[in-house]
């Protein structure tokens, strides 16, 4: 078992992330503070049937009264429609501000449930039980919760730090290779920005098979790094931006190809290779970094090249509309070496030259 503590100064809280292979069936002691309270568990149509009754049993053992609600799986559920359904359910279940809401699922469920918990009755206690690799290493930690709007992703959001994050690494066994890959994209991103030795471990393993037994410690490493960033910048005013290495292009890729064509973590993989090339062209990133990252991604069966049917103009068009291009200065996250990220302000007008010169 691993435990990582997160502190979010200014938000007046600190909370544990507990990582263990059998945590769901053994989590009753972690939930003992919920004795006597109603606990609404929000899952999707996959995680509800898989893990709902295990979590409900643990809650009953802890002396709480659970109620379970399912929404459809997938990104389209981060919507006002599903938000309203959850709020109706919380009202019908008489959930009060002394009760608790649990998110049981991947990043979509965490974001949607968290946003409902942040806004229902002006905020109720919230626990994250992430069940995908991507949500275990990134989205369940740090308090960002959000809904999508028809005009863009995550346009409605809040910061709500959870009371705890319970990570059962056994849940990863039900994910398909592509979902594991999408999470691995964020893991390799963390390696790129945090620690060259961690990056080298992936080079040493040379693929998923040798890496899999190390997943609990890998998740713990990613959560420890993210906790350190959140402690310094809980509300995303500066340093936290480094977590977006590879994301400038990833968002544009996801958008121009249609959400869901490339999974977010897959788009981040391609974005990291291009961010390395941008850094090389700007004289910030050591030459050959793009090749080193591409080789690693290839060894883990992850995408590292632009899709054939895409042109630089398409990405530039989308990025020009992106809220992050506002003010006409982009904050590019670049590597000054593998293991350390820097934020480089770049006039948006200079991006197209970098993109054309990096394109292959």
Residues 6+ apart with CB under 8 A from 179: 132, 133, 134, 263
Q: How far is the CB of 34 from ligand GLY (least distance, A)?
A: 26
Nearest CB to ligand GLY, comparing residues 15 and 69 = 15
The H or E element containing residue 3 is strand 2-8
Nearest CB to ligand GLY, comparing residues 85 and 240 = 240
Site for ligand GLY in 112-141 (CB under 6 A): 138
Residue 243 sits in the site that holds ligand GLY (CB under 6 A): yes
Q: Dihedral of the CA atoms 105, 109, 115, 117 (nearest 10)?
A: -40
The H or E element containing residue 224 is helix 215-232
Residues 6+ apart with CB under 8 A from 135: 105, 106, 107, 110, 128, 183
The two tokens of residue 360 are 């292959």
Residue 60 sits in the site that holds ligand GLY (CB under 6 A): no
Residue 322 sits in the site that holds ligand GLY (CB under 6 A): no
DSSP 104: E
Q: Are 15 and 164 in contact (CB under 8 A)?
A: yes
- Compute φ and ψ for 323, nearest 5 degrees: -60, -25
Nearest CB to ligand GLY, comparing residues 125 and 143 = 143
Applying CB under 6 A, the site for ligand GLY has a residue count of 6
Residue 153 sits in the site that holds ligand GLY (CB under 6 A): no
Residue whose CB is nearest to ligand GLY in the complex, by number: 243
Nearest CB to ligand GLY, comparing residues 222 and 293 = 222
Q: Are 25 and 173 in contact (CB under 8 A)?
A: no
**Binding segment for ligand GLY among 25-33, 113-121, 173-181, 235-243 (CB under 6 A)?**
235-243
Read out DSSP for 53-82? HHHHHHHHHTT-EEEEEEE-SSGGGSSHHH
Out of 37, 78, 144, 189, name the contact with ligand GLY by CB under 6 A: 144
| 169, HSE (Cβ side, Cα atoms, 13 Å) | 17
Nearest CB to ligand GLY, comparing residues 82 and 244 = 244
Nearest CB to ligand GLY, comparing residues 172 and 193 = 193
Out of 240, 292, 324, 337, name the contact with ligand GLY by CB under 6 A: 240
Q: Are 202 and 188 in contact (CB under 8 A)?
A: yes
Q: Binding pattern to ligand GLY, positions 184-213, x when CB under 6 A?
A: ------------------------------
Taking CA atoms, 147 is separated from 70, 80, 239, 293, in Å, by 17, 7, 24, 32
Distance between CA atoms of residues 1 and 164, nearest Å? 15
Nearest CB to ligand GLY, comparing residues 48 and 162 = 162
Q: How far is the CB of 227 from ligand GLY (least distance, A)?
A: 11
Q: How far is the CB of 161 from ligand GLY (least distance, A)?
A: 11
Q: Are 74 and 86 in contact (CB under 8 A)?
A: no
Residue 271 sits in the site that holds ligand GLY (CB under 6 A): no
Q: How far is the CB of 146 from ligand GLY (least distance, A)?
A: 10
* 3-state secondary structure (DSSP) of residue 11: coil
Nearest CB to ligand GLY, comparing residues 89 and 225 = 225
Q: How far is the CB of 244 from ligand GLY (least distance, A)?
A: 6
Residue 233 sits in the site that holds ligand GLY (CB under 6 A): no
Residue 336 sits in the site that holds ligand GLY (CB under 6 A): no
Q: Which residues would be at the binding site for ligand GLY (CB under 6 A)?
A: 138, 142, 144, 236, 240, 243
């Amino acid at each position: 078992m691993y435990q990582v503590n997160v502190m979010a100064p200014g938000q007046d809280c600190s909370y544990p992330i507990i990582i263990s292979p059998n945590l769901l069936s053994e989590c009753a002691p972690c939930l003992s503070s919920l004795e006597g309270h109603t606990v609404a568990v929000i899952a999707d149509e996959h995680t509800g049937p898989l893990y709902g009754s295990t979590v409900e049993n643990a809650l009953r053992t802890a002396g709480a009264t659970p109620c379970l609600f399912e929404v459809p799986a997938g990104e389209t559920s981060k919507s006002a429609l599903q938000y309203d359904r959850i709020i109706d359910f919380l009202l019908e279940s008489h959930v009060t501000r002394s009760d608790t809401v649990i998110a049981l699922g991947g990043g979509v469920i965490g974001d949607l449930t968290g946003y409902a918990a942040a806004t229902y009755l002006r905020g109720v206690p919230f626990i994250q039980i992430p069940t995908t690799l991507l949500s275990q290493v990134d989205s369940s930690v740090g308090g960002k919760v959000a809904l999508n709007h028809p005009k863009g992703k995550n346009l409605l959001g809040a910061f709500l730090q959870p009371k705890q994050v319970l990570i059962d690494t056994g849940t990863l066994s039900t994910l398909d290779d592509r979902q594991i890959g999408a999470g691995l994209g964020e893991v390799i991103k963390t390696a790129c920005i945090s620690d060259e030795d961690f990056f080298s471990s992936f080079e040493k393993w040379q693929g998923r098979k040798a890496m899999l037994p190390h997943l609990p410690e890998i998740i713990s490493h990613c959560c420890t790094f993210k906790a350190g960033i959140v402690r310094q910048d809980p509300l995303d005013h500066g340093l936290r931006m480094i977590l977006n290495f590879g994301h400038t292009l990833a968002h544009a890729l996801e958008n121009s190809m249609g959400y869901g064509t490339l999974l977010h973590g897959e788009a981040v993989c391609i974005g990291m290779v291009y961010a390395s090339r941008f850094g090389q062209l700007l004289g910030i990133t050591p030459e050959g970094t793009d090749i080193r990252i591409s080789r690693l991604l290839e060894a883990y069966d992850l995408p590292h090249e632009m899709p054939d049917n895409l042109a630089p103009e398409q990405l530039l068009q989308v990025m020009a509309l992106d809220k992050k291009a506002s003010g006409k200065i982009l904050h590019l996250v670049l590597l000054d070496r593998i293991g350390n990220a820097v934020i480089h302000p770049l006039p948006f007008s200079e991006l197209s030259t970098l993109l054309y010169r990096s394109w292959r």
